[in-house]
A = this chain, B = another copy of it.
């Protein structure tokens, strides 16, 4: 079947062929997507209560139209990433039921009983299993796709399979380049502009460090990344955690995933300066975020090292000192990418609701400057922190 975009009715027809629902199912379908790049249908059987999700790539950017074309292959790349993540981190990603190259779609587990984690953190929700689950997800996906474990031929075939130039370009521009100069793609809170012009865009030392990490992003095929691992890509409850939307997956520097995750948690941490919650609640939630950052990174390191000690196959992996070198680089690079994602979310093209939800522009600006200043310090001092505890201690001493 040649590509055509589905609608709720044709989506229902499509799933009937998949043998997922009982034959007497009473199916109902609706489009539930809110993104710019894809159609998302939820199909339910009103009898059994079973449901699933169809995610179909559109051949253009939805809000712009057919004048901005996009490669349809990304749906299959995403399906391939899901398959791999299901194998390496079972239970921590949606199950994949089906992929269809012709129609550029994937059919997967419906997780709408879980909430997306970002709005949860806006409500100060806590996720007691988050650190345990995310550390496993990262340690397994980042270790078992690296040269430490993989056969060199298979690894290079994977690098090829997961080449993802269109979505990499978005990161190269929006995270690594645009925020460091007055790029027209930036979206700037008007009261922030004077600070950017008079202070931030003159910080050449910071821009130079960010440029080194753009180089890493462009060249360093270390592990298969999720590529967009922030709290908006995670469904979570008190018991469950599911990482979704791996459409940015590609072989890049492993630190990018924990960096993005920690950077987003720190944005939320700082954002409370612009909100009117009682100070006691803010302190409590900030302590929760601090321990979450500590736990998720510490557990990630421990599990990565455990995987290494159990399963590393590259002869280099056993060279004395190499593991320390590797883990130290991973840590320092994580801080750098955390800093870069904090910066891009302040005045790049795509912001976080954590901060944009602060309605008063002046007050929002104050929070934004605090984020930029904290990010700068993390980037510039990254070599001086010995552990993640030193980082969070530094953050807490500045802002609490």
Q: Are A152 and B177 in contact (CB under 8 A)?
A: no
Q: Are A319 and B208 in contact (CB under 8 A)?
A: yes
Q: Are B322 and A208 in contact (CB under 8 A)?
A: yes
For residue A376, give the distance in angstroms from its CB to the closest CB of chain B: 15
For residue A301, give the distance in angstroms from its CB to the closest CB of chain B: 18
Q: Are A156 and B177 in contact (CB under 8 A)?
A: no
Q: Which residue of B lies closest to A178 (CB)?
A: B315
In chain A, positions 152-210 with a C-beta closer than 8 Å to chain B are 152-153, 156-157, 159-160, 163, 165-166, 168-169, 172, 176-177, 180-181, 204-205, 207-208
Q: Are B165 and A218 in contact (CB under 8 A)?
A: no
In chain A, positions 217-250 with a C-beta closer than 8 Å to chain B are 218-222
Partner of A160, one of B163, B166, B326: B163
Q: Which residue of B lies closest to A252 (CB)?
A: B219
Q: Which residue of B lies closest to A320 (CB)?
A: B204
CB of A321 within 8 A of chain B? yes
Copies of this chain in its oligomeric complex = 2
Residues from chain B with Cβ under 8 Å of A394 in the complex: none
Residues from chain B with Cβ under 8 Å of A322 in the complex: 208, 211-212
Alpha-carbon distance A275/B321, docked complex (angstroms): 39
CB of A68 within 8 A of chain B? no
| Residue among A168, A172, A180, A219 with the highest chain B CB neighbour number at 10 A | A219
CB of A316 within 8 A of chain B? yes
Residues from chain B with Cβ under 8 Å of A321 in the complex: 204-205, 208
CB of A133 within 8 A of chain B? no
Q: Contact residue range for chain A?
A: 35 or more
CB of A365 within 8 A of chain B? no
Known: A215-B316, A321-B204, A325-B212. A163 touches B152 (CB 8 A): no
Alpha-carbon distance A153/B212, docked complex (angstroms): 20
CB of A214 within 8 A of chain B? yes
CB of A354 within 8 A of chain B? no
CB of A257 within 8 A of chain B? no
Residues from chain B with Cβ under 8 Å of A157 in the complex: 165
In chain A, positions 62-119 with a C-beta closer than 8 Å to chain B are none
Alpha-carbon distance A220/B166, docked complex (angstroms): 20
Q: Are B319 and A218 in contact (CB under 8 A)?
A: no
Q: Which residue of B lies closest to A316 (CB)?
A: B211
Q: Which residue of B lies closest to A156 (CB)?
A: B165
Q: Are B147 and A169 in contact (CB under 8 A)?
A: no
Residues from chain B with Cβ under 8 Å of A156 in the complex: 163, 165, 168
Alpha-carbon distance A220/B325, docked complex (angstroms): 17
Q: Are A219 and B218 in contact (CB under 8 A)?
A: no
Known: A152-B169, A221-B219. A207 touches B160 (CB 8 A): no
Give the interface of A toward B (CB within 8 A).
147, 152-153, 156-157, 159-160, 163, 165-166, 168-169, 172, 176-177, 180-181, 204-205, 207-208, 211-212, 214-215, 218-222, 315-316, 319-322, 325-326
Shortest 9 CB-CB distances between A and B: which pairs? A156-B165, A208-B321, A211-B316, A147-B218, A211-B319, A153-B165, A211-B322, A219-B221, A204-B320
